């Protein structure tokens, strides 16, 4: 039983790690955000190309083009950034970085930011990995 008390998974639960997801509509701001992540020691981010449902539907089915922005040629893709943070304080720091680059996220066509609790990890289960990035 003593081994279970000192298990790394239980330590992570105390810190309440979170997965931060940022859907960046202004893809030209990606490099600046990632540069600031590095400067402020936010490590382990993964970036994926992504597209919104409305844009995909309007491209596949022209009759649904009403979902597309009218009269405006818009970038087809966005970038989705995933990063696991140690706690709520680090999440606030990531949000501050994103808003310093994108502006207020309540404005249209900037970014979407949310986080979810991380209940389990494997492969980042020791203190060194969490401090140095994954």
pLDDT band at 72 (very low <50, low <70, confident <90, very high): very low
Which pLDDT value is given to residue 128? 44
Indicate if the pLDDT at residue 46 is higher than 60.
Answer: yes
Residue 110: count of CB within 10 angstroms of its CB: 19
Average pLDDT for residues 106-119, to the nearest whole number?
95
Q: Which two tokens stand for residue 98?
A: 């994103």
Residue 12 near residue 102, CB atoms below 8 Å: no
Lateral strand order in the sheet of 18-24: 46-50, 78-85, 18-24, 111-117
């Amino acid at each position: 039983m003593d081994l279970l008390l000192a298990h790394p998974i239980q330590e992570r639960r105390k810190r309440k790690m979170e997965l931060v997801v940022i859907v960046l509509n202004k893809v030209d701001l990606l490099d600046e955000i990632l540069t600031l992540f590095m400067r402020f020691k936010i490590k382990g981010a993964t970036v994926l190309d992504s597209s919104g449902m409305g844009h995909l539907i309007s491209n596949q089915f022209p009759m649904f083009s009403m979902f597309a922005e009218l009269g405006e040629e818009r970038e087809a893709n966005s970038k989705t950034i995933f990063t696991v943070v140690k706690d709520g304080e680090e999440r606030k720091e990531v949000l501050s970085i994103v808003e310093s680059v994108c502006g207020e996220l309540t404005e249209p066509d900037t970014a979407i930011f949310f986080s979810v609790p991380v209940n389990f990890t494997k492969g980042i289960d020791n203190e060194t990995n969490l401090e140095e990035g994954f």
